[in-house]
Amino acid sequence: MADGVARISDPRRPALASPQPLGYSFPMEPSLKAFNKHATVKVYHRNLPHWRQEGATYFATFRLADSIPRPILNQWNHERKAWLAANGVLDSMDKRERAEAYAKIDRKRRRNFERDQTRHLFTELDQCHGRCLFQEPDCRAVLRKSMLHFDGERYWAGDFVIMPNHVHWIVQPMHGHPLETSLQSIKRFSSTRLTKLGLHEGGHLWQSESHDHIIRNREELGMRLFDHLIDNGYAV
């Protein structure tokens, strides 16, 4: 097996945890590419930092718009802006300047910040706030079909778990098809379809920004990320 390439497989079959997962899949194309520290990396910011590397595999999380209460979001935004400003990343900067300033922050300090942001997000998502639309089997079926529609054409769709108000997904975008574009397409299609079927009353269904993380190495893929899915009740 080539360096930096791992296979998605895990023989563990744990008992279901709480909250219970509501959908899962094993459609992964066998070989995946981990982060390459020697290759070009692009970083852009919205509320969260997003690292992009051609051919890389990502652990992506996207959520329903009502999955985090507004007061909690406001507090996170305040804390995040304060941390960024204290480390030289200012709101007055344009996207390029913000990315350059963020890249200059000490790597360990930056990684700790990103881990804290991720931990806060995942902990709050597991509280199952909001309507939790994907408790309904018909809604899960629509989302699953949306995620697999361009599998093998725009991306390789890896293992995923559909929780009541969010989704965790291992995915590898293909050349010319940025991750954020594919995620927005999935959100748009699933929202439209759910509305047409009368499963969603219309309006803003998804949070526009997703969380994503480049898988760093095969150990992270085989252990930490699978462990996270298992902790969320990932099972067959």
What mean pLDDT comes out for the span 191-220?
Answer: 89
Helices of type H across 149-203: 179-196
| Residue 216, domain extent | 17-66+131-231
Residue 125 lies in a domain: no
Residue 190 lies in a domain: yes
Residue 122 lies in a domain: no
Residue 118 lies in a domain: no
Residue 107 lies in a domain: no
For the chain, what percent of residues have pLDDT higher than 70? 80
The pLDDT of residue 46 is above 90: no
Q: How confident is the model at residue 7 (pLDDT cuts 50, 70, 90)?
A: very low
Domain total of the chain:
1
Residue 10 lies in a domain: no
CB 163 within 8 A of CB 21: yes
Give the CA count within 13 Å in the CB-facing half-sphere of 205: 21
Residue 74 lies in a domain: no
Q: What is the pTM of this model?
A: 0.77
Residue 9 lies in a domain: no
At 45 the pLDDT is: 74
Q: Render pLDDT for 73-90 as a digit per residue (tens, 0 to 9).
A: 899 889 989 999 999 999
What mean pLDDT comes out for the span 129-154?
Answer: 94
The secondary structure of residue 225, as a DSSP letter, is I
Q: Render pLDDT for 8-21 as a digit per residue (tens, 0 to 9).
A: 333 332 222 334 44
Question: The domain spanning residue 210 has which CATH number?
Answer: 3.30.70.1290
For the chain, what percent of residues have pLDDT higher than 90? 44
Q: 107-125 vs 70-86: helix axis angle to the nearest 10?
A: 180
CB 84 within 8 A of CB 15: no
How many CB atoms are closer than 10 A to CB 126?
18
Q: How confident is the model at residue 95 (pLDDT cuts 50, 70, 90)?
A: confident
What mean pLDDT comes out for the span 171-175?
Answer: 92
